[in-house]
Amino acid sequence: MPKKLLIDTDPGVDDAMAILFALNSPELDLVGLTTIYGNVYVEQATENALRILEFAGRRDVPVAQGAAKPLLTPLEGVAHFVHGSDGLGETRQPPPTGEAVDQPAAEFIVETIIANPGEVTLMPVGPLTNIAIAVELDPRIVDNVAQVVIMGGAATVNGNVNPAAEANIWGDPHAADIVFGAGWPLTMVGLDVTMQIVMDATYLDALKEAGGRTAAYIHDITRFYLDFHRRIHGLGGLHTHDPSAVAYAIDPTLFATIRGGMRVLTEGIAAGMTLMDRRGEWYGEHAWTGRPPVDVCVEVDAERLLALYLERIVAAP
C-alpha cells in the first residue's frame, strides 16, 4: 500500500519538482499540501500549490494555507531572487481555478494525522512554522505520525543563507527547535546531501527530450533557478533540495544517516544553525541532554537518485 504523504511547502521551483515527483511515484499517495511562506509569500505559495496540482490533473488533493510569518521573528523577505517573483521561475502561469480549503494548515495537519494513525508521512520542505503550531496544538500527532521527513538544515556542512544556517531552518529557527525536539521519528534531508545531488543542464535537457508535458514543465520552471545557481554558485546545474526528501520517502536506502540529538540556535549570529550532538557521550549535562535522537542524512547515492527522478518524470504523462 502506498504511503500517505502530506507535504508542507512554499512552492518554489524545487518544491514543484518534488510535488510532481511524489504525484508520479506509486509508492506515495499525496493526501494534501499545506502551504507556508518561504520561497514566496504564503498567498503565492497557496496559488502555486493549486496550480501545480491542476497542472497534474489532481484537483482532488486538498490545499490548506498556513502561516504568513515565523513564530517570533519578523518575516525578512522571500526568495524571489532564487525562484522568480512568481516562485515558478518567471513562467507566468495563469491563476488556478480551485481554492484552498477553509482551514488553517496546522489544523489540517493535525486532523489528517489523527484520522490516519501511523500512516502519514509528514514532509515539510519550507520553514517549520506550521509543523510547530500543529505539534503544540495537538501533541498526539507525535505518536500518530508514521515519520517526519524534513528538507532543511545543515549538520556537517555550511548553510546556504550564511555559514551557519540553511534557508528553511533560518526562516523560523524557533519553530525548527520545537520540531526537532518533539520526539517523533524524524529524518533530516539537509544540505549535507542535497548539495551533492546536481541536476545539470544536460540532465534537464535529456529529461525534456525523453518525457512528456510533466518533463517539459520541469524544464521550463528550472530555467531561472538554473541561472541563479550559475550566478551564485558558478554551478552548471542545480542542487536537488526538495525532491531529495521525496526520494527518501520512496527509498531510504538511497541515503546513509547518522543519529543524535539536535538543537537549533534561535538567536545571535548563528541563528538557524542545526547543531547536532554527534558524539553522544558527555561528562555533564547540557542543552542537548535528553533531546530525542533524530536521523540526519549524510551520504547519498546521487547517481541512483537522479536516475529514479528521471525515470518517474519521464514516465509521467
Partner 1 sequence: MTKRRFIIDTDTASDDAVAILMALEWPDVQVDAITMVFGNMPIEQGGINARYTVELCGQETPVYQGTARPLLREPYYAEFFHGSDGMGEMHYPPPKRPLAGMDAVNELVRRFREAPGEITLITLGPLTNIALALSLEPKMAEWVKECYIMGGAACTVGNITPAAEYNIWCDPEAARMVFHSGMKIMMVGWEHCRGEANLDDEEMAMVYGFGTERAKFAMDCNQSALKASREWLGDPGLGLPDPMTMAIALNRDVCTRSSMHYVDVACDELTRGMTVVDELGVTNKEPNIEVCWEIDPVLWKETLYQTLR
CB 159 within 8 A of CB 191: yes
Q: Provide, rounded to whole angstroms, the least separation between the CB of residue 3 and partner 1.
A: 27
Binding mask 35-74 for partner 1 (x = CB under 8 A): --------------------------------xx--xx--
Q: How far apart are CA 105 and CA 36, in angstroms?
A: 8
10: annotated active-site residue: yes
Q: Of 2-10, 81-89, 171-179, 303-311, which segment contacts partner 1 by CB under 8 A?
A: 171-179
Please identify which of the residues 10, 14, 177, 301 carries the catalytic annotation: 10
C-beta closer to partner 1: residue 73 or 162: 73
# residues contacting partner 1 (CB under 8 A): 19
C-beta closer to partner 1: residue 267 or 311: 267
Q: Provide, rounded to whole angstroms, the least separation between the CB of residue 266 and partner 1.
A: 8
> Counting contacts by CB under 8 A, is residue 11 touching partner 1?
no
For residue 227, how many other CB atoms are within 10 A of its CB? 14
Q: Of 91-99, 132-140, 155-163, 193-201, which segment contacts partner 1 by CB under 8 A?
A: 132-140
C-beta closer to partner 1: residue 98 or 139: 139
Residue with C-alpha cell 551533492? 196
Which residues, numbered 250-269, are part of the site for partner 1 (CB under 8 A)? 266-267
15: annotated active-site residue: no
CB 93 within 8 A of CB 51: yes
Which residues, numbered 269-308, are part of the site for partner 1 (CB under 8 A)? none
Please identify which of the residues 241, 277, 295, 301 carries the catalytic annotation: 241
Q: Provide, rounded to whole angstroms, the least separation between the CB of residue 133 and partner 1.
A: 5
> Counting contacts by CB under 8 A, is residue 8 touching partner 1?
no
Binding mask 69-108 for partner 1 (x = CB under 8 A): --xx-------------------------------x-xx-
> Counting contacts by CB under 8 A, is residue 132 touching partner 1?
yes
Active site residues: 10, 241
Footprint on this chain of partner 1 (rule: CB under 8 A): 67-68, 71-72, 104, 106-107, 129, 132-133, 136-139, 174, 177-178, 266-267
